[in-house]
Structure 1
Amino acid sequence: MTETLYPELPTTRSSPLDPPAELGVLRETEPISRLAFPDGTLGWLVTSHALAREVLADNRFSNRAELQHSPIRAGGKPIPQQPPAKPGMFINMDGQEHAKYRRLLTGQFTVRRMNQLIPRIEAIVRDHLADVRAQGPGVDLVEAFALPVPSMVICELLGVSYEERESFQRNTKALFTLTKEFAEIRAAFERIEDFVADLVRRKHDEPGDDMLTGLIQTGELTDEEVANMGLLLLVAGHETTANMLGIGTLTLLGHPEQLAALKADPSLIDNTVEELMRYLSIVQFGASRVALEDVELGGVTVKAGEPVSISVMAANRDPAKFDRPEEFDIHRPATGHVAFGHGVHQCLGQQLARIEMRVGFNALFREFPDLRLAVPASEVPMRDDMAIYGVHKLPVTFS
């Protein structure tokens, strides 16, 4: 295999719902290709489904923060390398260090416990759909529904006052905004750190039936560890699901025959959610790993210290894995996608996200069977400027 150097990660989408065309070309011609990272480091770009899963499952590839090189820019400039992850920041740790923290959270995210939350999630969805109707046709579905539903769910799970949501939502959005300078992103992150650290201090005096209190009461963690674990859950727990609810609605409205099938048979919702995750792959720039030793991968040698960028978008549109991958089809068995990752770092809250989407989409189209866009699809503002893709706004109308 030749090692053609790709000068920069392709980021310009072919259309609002499709990945950059260059990723598909690379997947067919060079599924692991040389990539120049913005900080000058030479590494690799993986675009095939098989190789993506191979890297994500191989403990010879590290997720440690201090080893990473970002394939994207912030404010047009390379993102500097980061220090080692702070205690509790388990997503940027490997091995036993990662496993220790993940073990303490696994019991909080079992399928059984998530299913017990369904009645409460249904009530939250019902209340916000009532707000949508009260605001009337022309309402922004992101502001009235897609964002507040997962925000309220994660607030209740963590024991965060919902009245405090505006501050962390504003700062979380800043974390994912590619047009901001890295110093601005860092400052937003530190504000969230301070917010959660203060929340943990308050939990000692006012414990509740929530995850932060539960983590404190294990007796195995310092307050710093609890706060950092809570921060990760708070940031991840609403930004991704909120954007899936928004862009997922846009996708369904843009495929009326698929939407009609879902309305006729709500039991298709499980497949619909998986297909939306596969088709949209909203974590735009995928996952990053660094080789801890020389690794043979896809016919090339990834040398120790070289970064690997895994394009989830390209992997989830791989025809070697999915039949007619460019088509949105809620009847396909969409299992096997890597939208939630793969291996030991696979998304811990994926079952919660699935439930929120299942409940949210079914209730939305049951309550508003004639829901439609209030503006032409071409005028819906897409989140091209964000690391988590979606829609900034979604004006909708209904009878």
Structure 2
Amino acid sequence: MSETDGKARGGDSVIGFRPRRMWSWVTRRLAVRAFGGGVDLSDLSRLPDSVLWPLRRDGLDPVPELSRRREQEPVSPLPLPFGVRAWLVTGYDEVKAVLGHVDGFSNDFANLAGIGARHDPGGLGFADPPVHTRLRRLLAPEFTMRRLRRLAPRIQTIVDEVLDAIEPGDAPVDLWRSFALPIPSLTICELLGVPYGEREHFQRLATARFDLTGAAGGSLTAMSESLSYLSDLVTRQRQAPGDGLLGMLIREHGDAVDDRELAGLADGLLTGGLETTASMLALGALVIAREPRAKRLLTGVDPGDHGSVGGGPAGPFVEELLRYLSVVQVAFPRCAVRDIQLGNVRIAAGDFVACSLSAANRADVFGADPQAFDPARPARPHLAFGHGAHRCIGAELARMELHAAYPALVRRFPRMRLAIDPGQLSFRDASIVFGLQALPVLVT
């Protein structure tokens, strides 16, 4: 969940962006500078720790160095290979300034990579106004809270059915696979208009793409199969538009959006909306399992009452979780299009800028002890969904899923607890989207 847009040619991702492809873009840019693009550096493990350290965590907390930089050097050099000049932005005000300054910091692929249009992955994540403005306007009406409310009953049904499928007993249950993954996957099915008879197949493809335990080749095969499925779905929707998002875009915009854009949009919704929301659901469930007061806060909350945008009975709990966890750790990279003063640092035209959302969301502007989880914390706009023109277009859909899922989980399994020692939990290491590899709990 982030300000960063999905790379679908048709629009922003629902929740965040495509983290693997985003980092692949970063490493390709480095390779372009040094070797003309002839080297594949998409494997994160090949990058030095001087690049990866902002993505590491100490349990649920960003590494202490991020806090030091935020307090002492909110805009600091980030050493990248091959002589690329880059800056890490960690201060709350400074991150907002970069994300909100679309005239000074570009997302356009030509400015970012400079390697030709044929390599352009397309979509809002790599677009500046007016292209970004046109594409976002196509989607914005469907992601207003008024439109999304029609999905609320179906989201609640999805949550209830997912919990129904969890068998209480003495054996541990992996909430990552049985709770966190299926809820956003099935919600995306509902949003896109995937036929009911095909949703089990779609869910298998979606889950396989983010299987952290399998080989990379298996994930690539699943990605290819899901892209093929989505292209076929778009073709069928073009012939007989349904009630979902794809059908709506075809009916209202016709030839103004082509099949490639639509398939890219659907893929962006899947890749951006699944992994980030699943990570939030799993990490939030971990906080609930470890924090008795979290259970007390959610006990008795009607999960079907979503309240106003960002509100509802579970609102403060969800907003504090979004701030505290900041699952999308780094915003989409930007390139300075001219010399810009940012805090005490002069950013030169052509410099690469990376904004740490996890650092900015732990700033002192959030009140006392921002490193702690405190659902009673006074409300202040966090940056989990970003800021400015590229703020996540699906933020309210994400909130709806979280508002529905957490109270229902506590109501169904009030005695839920970790099945292993907290020190044995396995977190993703140096991942753009922070998360768990598994969450074994006892639900008796």
Q: Pick from 176, 180, 202: which aligns with 1:142?
A: 176
Q: Pick from 234, 238, 241: which aligns with 1:207?
A: 241
Residue pair 1:64, 1:84 contacting (<8 A) in 2 also = no
Farther off after superposition, 48-57 or 191-200:
191-200
What displacement does 1:257 show?
2.6
Q: Pick from 415, 418, 436: which aligns with 1:391?
A: 436
| Separation in 1, partners of 2:218, 2:110 | 20
* Structural mapping, 1:151-162, within 5 Å: 151-160=185-194, 161-162=198-199
* Structural mapping, 1:1-399, within 5 Å: 7-11=50-54, 13=56, 15-59=58-102, 60-68=104-112, 85-86=120-121, 89-133=123-167, 137-160=171-194, 161-162=198-199, 163-172=201-210, 192-217=226-251, 218-219=253-254, 220-263=256-299, 268-384=313-429, 386-399=431-444
Q: Classify the secondary structure of the residue corresponding to 2:433.
A: coil
Q: Classify the secondary structure of the residue corresponding to 1:273.
A: helix
What displacement does 1:321 show?
4.1
Paired positions, count: 379
Farther off after superposition, 23-32 or 199-208:
199-208
What displacement does 1:9 show?
4.6
Residue pair 1:216, 1:223 contacting (<8 A) in 2 also = no
The structure, 1 or 2, with the larger RCO (C-alpha pairs under 8 Å, 6+ apart) is: 2
RMSD (CA atoms) = 2.7
Residue pair 1:26, 1:47 contacting (<8 A) in 2 also = yes
Query: Structure 1 pair 67/83, CA: closer, same or farther in 2 (3 Å)?
Result: farther
Residue pair 1:293, 1:304 contacting (<8 A) in 2 also = yes
Residue pair 2:230, 2:263 contacting (<8 A) in 1 also = yes
What displacement does 1:198 show?
2.3
| Separation in 2, partners of 1:337, 1:366 | 28
| Separation in 1, partners of 2:359, 2:139 | 30
| Separation in 2, partners of 1:186, 1:295 | 40
Q: For residue 222 of structure 1, what is the amino acid of its counterpart?
A: D
| Separation in 1, partners of 2:147, 2:221 | 35
Matched-pair identity in %: 38
Q: For residue 74 of structure 2, what is the amino acid of its counterpart?
A: P
| Separation in 2, partners of 1:13, 1:260 | 31
CA deviations on 1:312-333 (whole Å, 9 max, x unpaired) are 0100001134432011001113
Residue pair 2:287, 2:294 contacting (<8 A) in 1 also = no
Residue pair 2:98, 2:105 contacting (<8 A) in 1 also = yes
CA deviations on 1:68-106 (whole Å, 9 max, x unpaired) are 47xxxxxxxxxx99965455x122100010111110101
Unaligned runs of 5+ in 2: 1-48, 303-311
Farther off after superposition, 32-41 or 311-320:
32-41
Residue pair 2:168, 2:443 contacting (<8 A) in 1 also = no
Q: What is the TM-score of this pair, normalised by structure 2?
A: 0.79
| Separation in 2, partners of 1:236, 1:200 | 18
Query: Structure 1 pair 32/186, CA: closer, same or farther in 2 (3 Å)?
Result: farther
Q: For residue 55 of structure 1, what is the amino acid of its counterpart?
A: V
| Separation in 2, partners of 1:39, 1:118 | 49
Q: For residue 243 of structure 1, what is the amino acid of its counterpart?
A: S
Q: For residue 390 of structure 2, what is the amino acid of its counterpart?
A: H
Query: Structure 1 pair 39/201, CA: closer, same or farther in 2 (3 Å)?
Result: farther
Farther off after superposition, 387-396 or 46-55:
387-396
Q: What is the TM-score of this pair, normalised by structure 1?
A: 0.87
Query: Structure 1 pair 265/149, CA: closer, same or farther in 2 (3 Å)?
Result: closer
